[in-house]
């Protein structure tokens, strides 16, 4: 296992200071290893996640070579040549476990933003003290965007939140965590080959959820009530003005409808599995409040906004992968993690083999399936060249 930094590197280096997992402690599970603390319904801080992942690496005896960045992977007659500054490695098979969130997915219109505006992404934002004084525009209202809007607003700054397509979820439903419902009802276990529109499922925004000690819902109604200005999707930056789409009403209606449908699914599941007695009565939530008049443009030169945080998603970095397995849209070509090149595998990508694939607890089932395939692949390929030590 080659790691460019340290074990749990992304949690050590690429997350903001106040972040907690949005998955509850009881859901933090890796093969043969789980959260054993006194607060199963709580949410880990970054320090706790680093301890958890590092603890697993020790318990599993994972053969990790830290501070070993892979700079290229090329195909050879026998398999792959993996280059690192510490030496090369020849191997018959490679598993790409380099993460789904290496780069911030910032739209090209960022180039039209005046240079006077400071620009941050979720990978370089740490806390509100880092931002210049004045208003903050946060683009994107999924898990990252709503969490940062909340934090920056609480720090006393004026926040404008640009909202596009989003997934609205309450933190708890009928007395249980919403992720308890996702897991227990089987929604998160749905396999990739059972999903009608897999491309769409793989590009869905993360849900508007935050892990806080209060287990509070963090949706647009909460943020609006707290004073965050909600505007539509950032559609262009022209002549120093940010232009927002006028489609907020539709976006809100769609997100509310999808949430209602999901809650209906949970209700049906509870009824058909005789679980109604284990949970509270069905609940329905206030529809998303559409702002009376959301503004359609903002003068970025007026001094009202001094910084932008791009909370517009993440993507993997395969710049070091010199194997022709990336499609025109920059996505890895794979079937459930079996990449379109012999002996090449991937794990940890959105809906890789199941809806839960991109979460910590999703790794175990995917790994089991892929290891099965990998073992069969290795059994069927010549053994004269095995992985050589660095």
Ligand X SMILES: Cc1cc2nc3c(=O)[nH]c(=O)nc-3n(C[C@H](O)[C@H](O)[C@H](O)COP(=O)(O)OP(=O)(O)OC[C@H]3O[C@@H](n4cnc5c(N)ncnc54)[C@H](O)[C@@H]3O)c2cc1C
Q: Which residues are at the interface with ligand X (CB under 6 A)?
A: 2-5, 9-10, 15, 21-23, 69-70, 97-99, 101-102, 122, 144, 314, 320, 348, 358-360
- φ, ψ dihedrals at 223, nearest 5°: -65, -40
Q: How far is the CB of 325 from ligand X (least distance, A)?
A: 15
| C-beta closer to ligand X: residue 120 or 314 | 314
| C-beta closer to ligand X: residue 3 or 150 | 3
| C-beta closer to ligand X: residue 22 or 178 | 22
121, 100 contact by CB (below 8 A): no
- Pure H helices in the chain: 9-13, 46-60, 143-154, 178-184, 198-203, 220-225, 248-272, 363-380
| C-beta closer to ligand X: residue 54 or 265 | 54
| C-beta closer to ligand X: residue 79 or 313 | 313
Q: How far is the CB of 23 from ligand X (least distance, A)?
A: 4
Q: How far is the CB of 359 from ligand X (least distance, A)?
A: 3
Distance CA 53, CA 59 (A): 10
Q: How far is the CB of 246 from ligand X (least distance, A)?
A: 30
Closest CA to 113 of 291, 365, 348, 298: 298
Distance CA 383, CA 254 (A): 54
Q: How far is the CB of 353 from ligand X (least distance, A)?
A: 13
| C-beta closer to ligand X: residue 21 or 374 | 21
- φ, ψ dihedrals at 111, nearest 5°: -65, -20
Neighbours of 143 (CB within 10 A): 23
For 206, the token pair is 């993360």
């Amino acid at each position: 296992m080659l790691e460019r930094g340290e074990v749990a590197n992304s949690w050590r280096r690429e997350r903001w200071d106040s972040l907690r997992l949005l998955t509850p402690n009881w859901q933090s599970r890796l093969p043969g290893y789980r959260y054993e603390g006194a607060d199963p319904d709580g949410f880990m801080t970054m320090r706790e996640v680093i301890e958890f992942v590092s603890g697993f690496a020790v318990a599993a005896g994972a053969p990790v070579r830290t501070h070993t960045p892979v700079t290229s992977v090329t195909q050879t007659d026998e398999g792959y040549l993996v280059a690192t500054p510490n030496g090369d490695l020849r191997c018959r098979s490679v598993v790409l476990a380099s993460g789904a969130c290496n780069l911030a997915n910032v739209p090209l219109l960022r180039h039209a933003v005046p240079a006077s505006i400071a620009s941050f992404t979720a990978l370089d934002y740490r806390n509100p003290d880092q931002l210049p004084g004045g208003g903050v525009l946060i683009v994107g209202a999924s898990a990252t965007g709503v969490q940062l809007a909340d934090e920056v607003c609480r720090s006393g700054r004026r926040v404008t939140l640009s909202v596009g397509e989003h997934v609205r979820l309450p933190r708890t439903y009928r007395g249980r965590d919403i992720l308890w419902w996702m897991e227990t009802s089987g929604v998160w276990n749905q396999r990739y080959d059972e999903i009608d529109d897999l491309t769409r499922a793989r590009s869905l925004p993360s849900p508007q959820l935050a892990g806080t000690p209060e287990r509070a819902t963090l949706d647009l109604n909460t943020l609006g009530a707290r004073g965050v200005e909600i505007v539509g999707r950032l559609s262009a930056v022209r002549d120093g003005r940010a232009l927002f789409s006028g489609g907020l009403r539709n976006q809100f209606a769609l997100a509310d409808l999808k949430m209602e449908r999901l809650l209906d699914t949970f209700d049906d599941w509870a009824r058909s599995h005789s679980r109604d007695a284990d949970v509270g009565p069905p609940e329905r939530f206030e529809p998303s409040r559409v702002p009376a008049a959301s503004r359609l443009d903002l003068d970025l030169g007026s001094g009202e906004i001094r910084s932008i945080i791009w909370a517009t998603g993440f993507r993997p970095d395969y710049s070091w992968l010199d194997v022709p397995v990336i499609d025109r849209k920059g996505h890895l070509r794979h079937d459930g993690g079996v990449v379109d090149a012999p002996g090449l595998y991937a794990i940890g990508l959105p809906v890789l083999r199941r809806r839960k694939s991109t979460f910590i607890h999703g790794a175990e089932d995917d790994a089991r399936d892929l290891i099965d395939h990998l073992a069969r692949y290795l059994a069927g390929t010549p053994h004269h060249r095995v992985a050589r030590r660095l």
